[in-house]
Structure 1
Amino acid sequence: MNTKLLLSTAVASVALLGASAHAADKMTVGFSQIGSESGWRAAETSVTKLDAKKLGVDLKFSDAQQKQENQIKAVRSFIAQGVDAIFMAPVVATGWDPVLKEAKEANIPVILLDRTIDTQDPSLYLTAVGSDTVHEGAVAGDWLVKTAAGKACNVVEIEGTVGSSPATNRKKGFADALAGHDNVKVIRSQTGDFVRAKGKEVMESFLKAENGGKAICAVYAHNDDMAVGAIQAIKDAGLKPGKDILVVSIDGVPDIFKAQMAGESNASVELTPDMAGPAFAALAAFKKDGTKPPHFIQTESKLLLPDTAKAEYEKKKDLGY
């Protein structure tokens, strides 16, 4: 069964871990981050570094720049350095078994952050901390179905990186939510690689293909940064985002709340950037007495609407976005 950890719980876990200083104060952890393709990703990095500093953990950070080969090199470097554990946000879901077997043979536990992997050997990682990304897509889809209220609604979808677990799962959850509601249908779908500039480019192509956007009711973006890019493309086309074309996305970054306050975004599904809090707590317990955490530690996904945008914007700034 998945264990839900709210952001407040994660903070509490970090406080508890701080009390168990003997379990963490001399720990060295390697962190292989995907890159900095979005505001959310930058926030995850910032919060992870902040958590490590509070706990006295020596965090070895590596930016993979969206390339799996760079992550594999980083993991092998961490193994060679003899770190106590490895945190990894995998850029794609497949191709990890060989390097993770090397970590296992070196008795270095691996914890996945935000994203999961496809493997026939789940013992290759201690736990994965993340949201239910299928559920995130379903929350976005449910909102759109309810908002359409039985009226015809053609949707364009800007997908995340091909082969990544969030892109695959957010697409599935959204499609599941639309199933049985024939009035709401996805008419075009293309990857924007979770990057704002590419989200804008993809939306521009959708607008050109669909009579300047007149045939488009809504855009669903797999992350907020691509949604912000899409908003700019809609505005450049002489249309009003949030009105002429509805905008729903996932992450809950400050810029999407700015867009909501301006009436240009309609809904965002929050993804907390603090995956490291539960990860450090699980690691400390495992190092102390061998306590194994659940194999998946689930964070909460909330639908955030314009009525709370100002408060959410201020809160996210405090988290280091």
Structure 2
Amino acid sequence: MTISRRDVLIASAAAAAASLAARMALAELPKLAKKDTYKVGFAQTESNNPWRIAQTNSMQGEAEKRGWQLVYTDAAGSAAKQVADVNSMIAQGVELIFLAPREEKPLIPAIMAAKAAGIPVILLDRNVDQTLATAGEDYVCFIGSDFVEEGRRIAEWMVANANGKSKIIQLEGTTGSSPANDRKKGFDDFIAGNGAFTLLASQTGDFNRDKGRQVAETLLQAHPDADIIYAHNDEMAIGAISALEAAGKKPGTDVMVLSIDGGREIVQLIIDGKVNAVCECNPRFGPKAFDTAVAYANGEAIPAKIINPDNFYTIENAAAELPNAY
């Protein structure tokens, strides 16, 4: 059988069209059918602190309220396990996945696997590397706080209320996570070029209370003249308070203590005079997360980022706001 040049051209054109169609299909977000109830997944990063517990309770409570089946997993602080958790949800046939990615890059394969399986993903609290995955194309959207703004707000308050304090120790969150990256950027950018302040040291405490205490102890020994501690979350700030007290220093007085998250324990510590200011990071995701899923199923346009409103706590409002803290 002789194959003509025309046949080759036709076959090539058909293959190119099929390849283009496949790429276009892959570029599109998976759809979500319009229904009364859904089987959805929530891949939590960890449950070792009050913020994560509050977020999980909000998600589980909202699912129960709406009568949705929620497949819940806890990655216990492991990005590898969280990827496996998402793959398990895919195998269980969930219709949508709510994902709180532990780190920006390692969770990309999980998002792409869900997309390939036709399951839309909504990111909660932490984002992923925008050069590797795109909202509206690879996942529906990100819902959470503006972490850069949180760091900036803390720095702005510090500059206005330092009263001569100027030497800073920064306790960073989990390396590679979007809140750690952004809370550092917001803070560092605001004080950049301000000669009145010196960042003596900046080291990860992994968003963990005991590790935050250990790192603070080490850094305070290396920098005994530090008079400001900025922690990326409450857990590390509370750990730092223990380290300060063990060193014979009065937290909140000798050393200014600044934090982000705004749990009830740390708001009480503001009232007690051991913490100076806290920017809230709202953990109550349930209503907004599930409303967004419904809106997506209804065909509504979903913004790439949906920002939660965050409170700000100081001695001026801590007592009045304590009942509202998580």
TM-score of Structure 1 vs Structure 2, range by shorter chain: 0.7 to 0.9
Given candidates 306, 317, 321, the residue that maps to 1:312 is 321
How many residues are aligned here?
291
More relative contact order in 1 or in 2 (CA 8 Å, sep 6+)?
Answer: 1
SS at structure 1 position matched to 2:317: helix
Aligned to 2:169: 156
| Alpha-carbon distance between aligned partners in 2 of 1:312 and 1:64, rounded to the nearest angstrom | 32
Identity %: 41
Following the alignment from structure 1 to structure 2, what is the Cα–Cα distance between the partners of residues 315 and 222?
21
Query: Any idea what the Cα deviations from partners look like across 1:175-204, whole Å, max 9, x if unmatched?
Result: 011123111121011111001111111111
User: Aligned partners of 1:205, 1:24: CA distance in 2, in Å?
Assistant: 55
Q: Does the C-alpha gap of structure 1 residues 229 and 97 become closer, same or farther in structure 2, counting only changes over 3 Å? A: closer
Which residue number in structure 2 is paired with residue 26 of structure 1? 37
Give the match for residue 301 of structure 2: 292
Residue-by-residue CA offset, 1:121-141 (whole Å, 9 max, x unaligned): 411110110111011000011
- Per the TM alignment, residue 301 of structure 1 is displaced from its structure 2 partner at its CA by 2.8
Letter in 1 for 2:121: V
Equivalent pair of 2:79/2:107 in contact (CA under 8 Å): no
TM-score by length of 2: 0.86
How far 1:113 sits from its partner (Å)? 0.3
Offset of residue 25 of structure 1? 4.1
Q: Does 1:126 align with 2:126?
A: no
Stretches of structure 1 lacking an aligned partner (at least 5 in a row): 1-21
TM-score by length of 1: 0.87
Cα distance in 2, alignment partners of residues 298 and 31 from structure 1: 19
Structure 1 Cα separation of the partners of residues 252 and 34 of structure 2: 49
The amino acid that maps onto 1:159 is E
* Structure 2 counterparts to residues 217-296 of structure 1, below 5 A: 217-287=227-297, 289-296=298-305
Contact 1:224 1:252 in 2 (8 A): yes
Aligned residue identity for 1:292:
A
Select 1:35's aligned residue among 31, 35, 46. Answer: 46
Aligned CA-pair RMSD:
1.5
Distance 2:280 2:35 in 1: 30
1:200 aligns with 2:213: yes
Gaps of 5+ in 2: 1-32
- For residue 197 of structure 2, what is the aligned residue in structure 1? 184
CA contact (8 A) 2:200 2:223 kept: no
Q: Which residue in 1 is equivalent to 2:26?
A: none
Q: Who is 2:155 aligned against?
A: 141
Rounded to whole Å, the distance in 2 between the matches of 1:269 and 1:234 is 21
How far, CA to CA, are the matches of 1:292 and 1:97 in structure 2? 23
The letter for the 2-side match of 1:154 is K
**Offset of 1:37 from its aligned partner?**
3.2
Secondary structure of the corresponding residue to residue 174 of structure 2: coil
Which residue of 1 is the match for residue 23 of structure 2?
none
Radius of gyration: which is bigger?
A: 2
Distance 2:263 2:165 in 1: 30
